[in-house]
Amino acid sequence: MLERAEQIAPPAGLNCPSEEKMSIDLNLPLSVEYKEGKLYFLDQTQLPNHLQIDEQTTVEQVWDSIKKLKVRGAPALGVAGGYGLLVGLRGFLNLSPEAFITKVEEVAKYLEGCRPTAVNLGWALRRQVKKAKSLAGKSAKEVFAALEQEAIAIHQEDIACCEAIGRYGAPLIQDGMGVLTHCNAGHLAVSKLGTALSPMYTAFSEGRRFKVYADETRPLLQGARLTAWELKQAGLDVTLICDNMASFMMNSGAINLVIVGADRVTANGDAVNKIGTSGVAILAKYYNIPFYVACPYSTIDLSTPSGKEVEIEERDAEEVTFFGAKRTGPEGIQVRNPAFDATPNHLIHGIITEKGLIKPPFKENLQTLFG
């Protein structure tokens, strides 16, 4: 299922360790697609049972799709936000130049408020607002055309970042290894290939054979429904485990490496990711297993000092008291449902980015590369 295609240039910055630079075709549907001025999301809530692609015709629909996790994963949220803004602006091309810029700010603010934790959504929308403001005085149609180009650029940059993350992370994976991941930081969570899964796809395409273990990731099962599905579709050797089995698997010697994605990496290198990630990192430390985070620059937030300052999205109680359509907790029970947690930097061996593998001290090294 993995095919080699055209040669691509190595990323700027550090040396690219892989000898061969290649583009990998996973033959998987795209989570976000913009075609002939129309925006489409693959509805990830329907996976692995149905492949349903929905056109997004209003900005309220885009907001709802993001809120309900039809489109999810930090970089995909950035790409969706960049294009989603266009959906919200299309009906206002007759506004005056000033009124149109005000509208851009208004729609961006509306979309940004949808999910607070992943930095990419706000990052992409702020980039769009900045672009619009740089064109003050131009007609609404001209500004809209520039925003469309900017959204396409955000999308293309994300693809290039994921390919580079794959090349930098792949050397960590050797024949016969067991690699654990949590949640879905794969092709479905980005524009192509993924962040945490990109090193796996790349190592596989380079001929190495290894096992991947996917945590199911309660409460919404991104690991089971999405990670296990996409890896299996691509032909990798993937085994699904419940979240509470990670310690057993590590103790048994099945797992030699952990790679996860991130929704926000703060200035000190703390990594905010799907709830349960910090528990996996603590286990990895206990069993002496290297724990890596993979993410693009758009996920690195140097303006937030540490994970303690990141707003953690709290989601509906029903996600915990129901398993699918079946109630599994008593009616009226008190519930907590934080969607993310912060893994402290001292548990992280390295951060795999499109500019290279960043080692501690993260504060200094992140500042040097991305500041």
Task: Provide the annotated active-site residues.
Answer: 263
Is 178:209 a contact under the CB 8 Å cutoff?
no
Residue type, 177: M
Taking the least distance from each CB to ligand MRU, the nearer of 42 and 101 is 42
Q: Is 104 or 298 the residue whose CB approaches ligand MRU more closely? A: 298
Q: Which of positions 120-179 make contact with ligand MRU (CB under 6 A)? A: none
Backbone dihedral angles phi then psi of residue 350, each to the nearest 5 degrees: -170, 160
Least distance (Å) between residue 32 CB and ligand MRU: 13
Please, which residue, 191 or 345, has the CB nearer to ligand MRU? 191
Minimum distance, C-beta of residue 294 to ligand MRU, in the bound complex (Å): 8
Asked whether the bond before 17 is cis by omega within 30 degrees of 0, the reply is no
Q: Please, what is the minimum distance in Å from the beta carbon of residue 246 to ligand MRU? A: 15
118 binds ligand MRU (CB under 6 A): yes
Interface with ligand MRU in residues 233-292 (CB under 6 A) = 261-263, 273-274
Fill in the per-residue mask, 3 to 32: x = in contact with ligand MRU (CB under 6 A), - = not in contact: ------------------------------
Residue 15 CA to residue 2 CA, distance in Å, equals 25
In this structure, are strands 32-35 and 38-42 parallel, antiparallel, or unpaired? antiparallel
Q: Parallel, antiparallel, or unpaired for β 326-327 and 322-323? A: antiparallel
Indicate which single residue of 125, 339, 347, 358 sits in contact with ligand MRU (rule: CB under 6 A).
339
Q: Which helix (H) or strand (E) holds 241?
A: strand 237-241
Nearer of residues 273 and 304 to ligand MRU, judged by Cβ: 273
CA 182 to CA 200: how far, in whole Å? 14
CB 150 within 8 A of CB 240: no
Q: Which of 70, 66, 72, 74 is nearest to 263 (CA)?
A: 74
Q: Which residue, judged by CB position, is nearest to ligand MRU in the bound state?
A: 261
Neighbours of 282 (CB within 10 A): 15
Residue in the structure block whose two tokens are 């090294």:
365
x/- track of binding to ligand MRU for residues 63-82 (CB under 6 A): ------x--xxxx-------
User: CB-based burial of residue 370 (10 Å sphere; 0-12 exposed, 13-18 middle, 19+ buried)?
Assistant: middle
Cβ proximity to ligand MRU: between 90 and 218 the closer is 218
Q: Which of 31, 128, 195, 256 binds ligand MRU (CB under 6 A)?
A: 195
CB contact set of 60 (below 8 Å; sequence gap of 6+): none
Does 222 participate in binding ligand MRU (rule CB under 6 A)? yes
Question: Total binding residues for ligand MRU by CB under 6 A?
Answer: 19
The binding site for ligand MRU (CB under 6 A) comprises 69, 72-75, 118, 183, 185, 189-190, 194-195, 222, 261-263, 273-274, 339
